[in-house]
């Protein structure tokens, strides 16, 4: 093994993490409308099943966990908190012996859907805002 003493010394190039994170956030915001539609569909299924079929609750928990995790990574705290509230409400409602039709799930779902709608509206109003 050779000595590193004689190797050329190039300054490390900075990685533009800010731009990459902004691009990831933009992609996340672009997919939020599809997520909103899925949540609305699950909310309708929840209402039609009179408070909670296990499959619908499991789907809500899964979507809320995934949405919370992505929002936390991208530092979009409002979405992470709203998704966490939905996850907790759906998890509590899925526990054995709980009353079906708990309004906490619908309230958390409505809050998250409203937040996503607001974010989508802002994104449409300011396309490519970080490029200007």
- Could you tell me if residue 10 is inside a domain? no
Q: Determine how many CB atoms are found less than 10 A away from the CB of residue 47.
A: 13
* Residue 8 domain flag: no
Flag whether 103 is in a domain: yes
Position 45 in a domain: yes
Q: What is the CATH number of the domain that holds 105?
A: 1.20.120.160
Q: Report yes or no on 108 lying in a domain.
A: yes
What is the pTM (predicted TM-score) of this model? 0.75
User: Among 124, 112, 55, which Cα is nearest to 88's?
Assistant: 112
Residue 65 lies in a domain: yes
Low-confidence residues of the chain, pLDDT below 70?
1-18, 50-52, 98-101, 123-132
pLDDT for the residue 132 = 43
Domain around 39: 23-125
Per the domain annotation, does 7 fall within a domain?
no
Q: What share of the chain is helix, strand, coil (3-state, %, to 5)?
A: 75, 0, 25
How many domains is the chain built from? 1
pLDDT, tens digit, for every residue of 71-87? 998 888 999 999 999 99
Tokens of 131: 């490029």
Query: Does residue 130 belong to any structural domain of this protein?
Result: no
């Amino acid at each position: 093994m050779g000595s590193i003493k004689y190797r050329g010394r190039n300054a490390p190039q900075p990685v533009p993490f800010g731009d990459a994170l902004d691009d990831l956030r933009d992609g996340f915001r672009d997919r939020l409308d599809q997520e909103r539609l899925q949540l609305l569909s699950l909310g309708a299924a929840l209402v039609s099943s009179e408070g909670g079929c296990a499959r619908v609750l499991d789907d809500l928990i899964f979507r809320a966990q995934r949405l919370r995790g992505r929002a936390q990574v991208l530092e979009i705290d409002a979405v992470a908190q709203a998704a966490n509230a939905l996850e907790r409400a759906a998890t509590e409602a899925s526990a054995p012996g709980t009353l079906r039709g708990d309004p906490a799930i619908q309230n958390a779902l409505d809050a998250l859907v409203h937040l996503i709608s607001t974010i989508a509206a802002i994104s449409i109003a300011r396309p490519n805002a970080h490029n200007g």
